[in-house]
């Protein structure tokens, strides 16, 4: 991609992971909620993502947006998810269309379907032998208000794709847990997303050809209840990590 790419939420955990993994590959424009502690290596902007006056200068001249900004707390209260997540996502899409941006990659979340694993989730769905899968065709089924905001962000993207033909990729991000899977947490191990796979799936979402897509962002774990087949097929996603290759914080194989 020759044009700059805007990364909102650049100071967050996912944003820093994407930027660390892809710093040399794109001409980034960064947006932070507040002044970063250290001077970024790319042009940056600060402000409220729901405020068009703050977002518009960051959006000018970019070819794509990776939209990660918002309140990431699963327990976030309604007034915060309305302002930061729902209004913020609407602002990003609206300005993307106004500025002629071709593509938005939206950081959705496993919380958009947090109540959809099963009605009474048995431990077996977190084990390698179980075949239960969510594949992105299911209806949203959030388990908290943060999940409502992420499901709403997906729907906002659907509207802007259908109405304005902007390319949209929603990535339902699993458990991004530093450089190793979560310890003693089978559910988190089943939806683990390594840092390098996180950067890679966002890279593919910026490069691949698609219209509107819904994919799951997890590594290729032996135990999984999210399907990554759509991400492989449409985006060319080739995850390199697997939570089964770890014993706690120690990797068993190279």
Predicted confidence (pLDDT) per residue in 89-120, tens digit: 999 999 999 999 999 999 999 999 988 876 55
Active site residues: 146
Give percent above pLDDT 70 in the chain. 94
CATH architecture of 5-244: 3-Layer(aba) Sandwich (3.40)
Q: How far apart are CA 4 and CA 240, in angstroms?
A: 27
Asked if residues 6 and 24 have their Cβ atoms less than 8 Å apart, the reply is no
DSSP state of 113: G
Q: Which two tokens stand for residue 40?
A: 């970024």
pLDDT in the model for residue 127: 66
Tell whether the model's pLDDT for residue 128 goes beyond 80: no
In 67-182, which residue ranges form alpha helices assigned H by DSSP? 78-80, 88-98, 145-164
Please name which of 110, 84, 89 lies closest in space to residue 214, comparing C-alpha atoms: 110
Q: What is the pTM of this model?
A: 0.94
Residue closest to 182 by CA, chosen among 173, 195, 191, 170: 191
Residue 122 pLDDT: 56
Average pLDDT, integer, range 181-196: 92
d(Cα 186, Cα 223) in Å, to the nearest integer?
Answer: 9
Mean pLDDT of 43-67: 97
Residue 25's pLDDT is: 96
Task: Write out pLDDT tens, residues 194-234.
Answer: 999 999 999 999 999 999 999 999 999 998 989 999 999 99
């Amino acid at each position: 991609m020759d044009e700059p790419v805007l990364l909102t939420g650049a100071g967050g955990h996912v944003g820093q992971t994407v930027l660390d993994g892809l710093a040399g590959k794109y001409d980034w424009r960064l947006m932070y909620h507040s002044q970063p502690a250290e001077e970024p290596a790319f042009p940056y902007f600060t402000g409220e993502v729901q405020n068009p006056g703050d977002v518009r200068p960051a959006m000018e001249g970019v070819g794509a947006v990776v939209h990660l900004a918002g309140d990431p707390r699963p327990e976030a209260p309604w007034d915060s998810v309305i302002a930061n997540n729902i209004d913020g996502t609407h602002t990003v899409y609206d300005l993307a269309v106004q500025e002629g941006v071709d593509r938005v990659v939206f950081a959705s979340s496993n919380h958009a379907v947090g109540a959809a694993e099963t009605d009474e989730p048995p431990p077996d769905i977190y084990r390698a032998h179980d075949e239960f899968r969510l594949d992105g065709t299911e209806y949203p089924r959030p388990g908290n208000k943060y999940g409502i905001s992420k499901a709403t962000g997906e729907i906002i993207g659907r509207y802007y794709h259908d109405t304005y033909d902007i390319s949209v990729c929603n990535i339902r991000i699993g458990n991004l847990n530093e450089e190793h899977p979560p310890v003693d947490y089978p559910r988190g191990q089943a939806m683990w997303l390594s840092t390098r796979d996180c950067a890679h799936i966002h890279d593919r979402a910026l490069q691949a050809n698609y219209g509107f897509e819904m994919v799951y962002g997890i590594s290729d774990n032996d135990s999984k209840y999210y399907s990554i087949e759509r991400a492989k097929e449409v985006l060319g996603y080739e995850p390199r990590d697997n939570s089964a290759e770890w014993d706690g914080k120690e990797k068993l194989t190279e």
